[in-house]
Structure 1
Amino acid sequence: MPLIVLDRDGVINQQTSDHITSVEEWVPVPGSIEAMAALSRAGYQLAIATNQDGLALGLLDLDDLEAIHAKLRALVEDAGGEVAGIFYCPHSDEDHCRCRKPKTGLLDVIEAEFDTSLHGCYMVGDRLKDLQVALAKDCQPVLVKTGHGTETLQQLIDEPDERLIGTAVFDNLAQFSQFLLQNPPSSPQ
């Protein structure tokens, strides 16, 4: 089954503040849950890769994070889909870890967990670091304009990065899902 890697905050849920610290603050972007379910039903495995430095900063604890992820999973399941895995970096920038995007540690773990290469798979995000980690793992970067996506798009226009020319840009995860389902890849990823 082909794999799609999704960032969480700003892609699946609304980015209402710098840190989502409770289940109550975690609100899906309209259409994102249905988009994930549709992709899952179409045979895609969905892996979420998310930086969660709120843990290191003491803004939430592991129980809070697990509750947020349980809500996310339940909503996708209620819509008829499945989240194959959620992978997160609990560190802050000051920790200089390998797993904080744009470093590749989270994607390395996803490859190991699913015993596959992410070469050519889609990586959907709203920040430059999502696109950078996609390139570092030879994924196909996809930018959505939700969350920080509009700011990221403007940054790419103002300061072009030759490696990111041709990055697919969609209004939101629902639009990306609709595009992919109507235009499936000609060969397995």
Structure 2
Amino acid sequence: MKLVILERDGTINHDGDPFITSPEDWTPLPGALDAIARLNHAGFHVAVASNQPGLGRGLIDVATLNAIHSRMHKMLAAVGAKVDAVFFCPHTADDSCTCRKPLAGLFEQIGERYGLDLHGVAACGDNLEHLLAAQAAGCEPHLVLTGKAAVLAGHPLPDGFPRGTQVHADLGAFASHLIARQGR
């Protein structure tokens, strides 16, 4: 099985200020939905791993989060794409959980769901926490220069990023890279 693990906010959609708190706030980044469609058509399953501390802070509830994801799924379906599963951590940074990135808990849950060893699975996001969690789970780290990472465009990666992190302009460039690589 070919699997890709994506961060949601800043990778697939615009970041909220500070959180996406309603379905109307969820707006895809240019080309992101088409990128997921291209990954799907190339045989990749797509899972999302996302910290959602707005739940722990009481800024949104699970019904609202489900409505946000419903909007995402409908917009993906409209372009012939799908995300197979969304895994999220509802905790705040002050909670002692193992699922909040940069810990690997969400990634481990994805591996368990699919019955896969995640070694070498491409994981793509716009922030250090996502890449550290990916690395801890054995995934191959990919950074997109959208969302939080937009400020890094044109600069070397700061210290602390996983060794071997591959950098892409956006999710479309990441998808093109993976699809071209599998064709070799």
What's the TM-score once normalised by structure 2's chain length? 0.93
Q: Aligned residue pairs: how many? A: 184
After superposition, residues 56-95 of structure 1 pair within 5 angstroms as 56-95=56-95
Residue 167 of structure 2 corresponds to which residue in structure 1?
Answer: 169
Q: Residue 155 of structure 1: CA displacement?
A: 8.8
Structure 2: unaligned runs, 5 residues or longer: none
Residue 47 of structure 1 corresponds to which residue in structure 2?
Answer: 47
Q: Residue 5 of structure 1: CA displacement?
A: 0.2
Residue 127 of structure 1 corresponds to which residue in structure 2?
Answer: 127
Letter in 1 for 2:180: Q
**Counterpart of 1:36 in 2: which secondary structure?**
helix
Partners of 2:47 and 2:102 lie apart in 1 by 16
Q: Residue 166 of structure 1: CA displacement?
A: 2.9
**Counterpart of 2:48 in 1: which secondary structure?**
strand
Q: Residue 135 of structure 1: CA displacement?
A: 1.0
Partners of 1:155 and 1:51 lie apart in 2 by 26
Partners of 1:19 and 1:25 lie apart in 2 by 9
Q: Residue 101 of structure 1: CA displacement?
A: 0.3
CA contact (8 A) 2:120 2:139 kept: yes
CA contact (8 A) 1:128 1:152 kept: no
Residue 33 of structure 1 corresponds to which residue in structure 2?
Answer: 33
Partners of 2:115 and 2:125 lie apart in 1 by 23
Partners of 1:18 and 1:156 lie apart in 2 by 26
CA contact (8 A) 2:141 2:164 kept: no
* Identity level (%): 38
CA contact (8 A) 1:127 1:152 kept: no
Residue 97 of structure 2 corresponds to which residue in structure 1?
Answer: 97
Compared with structure 1, are the counterparts of its residues 121 and 185 closer, same or farther at alpha carbon in structure 2 (3 Å cutoff)? farther
Partners of 2:67 and 2:34 lie apart in 1 by 20
Aligned alpha-carbon RMSD (Å): 1.8
Summarize deviations over 1:111-169 as a string: whole Å, max 9, x none. 11111111100010111111111110111100001000134678964x423x6233111
Summarize deviations over 1:73-92 as a string: whole Å, max 9, x none. 11112211221100000000
Letter in 1 for 2:182: P
Compared with structure 1, are the counterparts of its residues 152 and 63 closer, same or farther at alpha carbon in structure 2 (3 Å cutoff)? farther
Residue 179 of structure 2 corresponds to which residue in structure 1?
Answer: 181
**Counterpart of 1:46 in 2: which secondary structure?**
strand
In the TM superposition, structure 1's runs of 4+ consecutive aligned residues that sit over 3 Å from their partners are 151-157
Q: Residue 175 of structure 1: CA displacement?
A: 1.1
**Counterpart of 1:98 in 2: which secondary structure?**
coil
CA contact (8 A) 1:88 1:106 kept: yes
CA contact (8 A) 1:126 1:152 kept: no
Letter in 2 for 1:149: A
Structure 1: unaligned runs, 5 residues or longer: none
Residue 160 of structure 1 corresponds to which residue in structure 2?
Answer: 159
Compared with structure 1, are the counterparts of its residues 28 and 112 closer, same or farther at alpha carbon in structure 2 (3 Å cutoff)? same
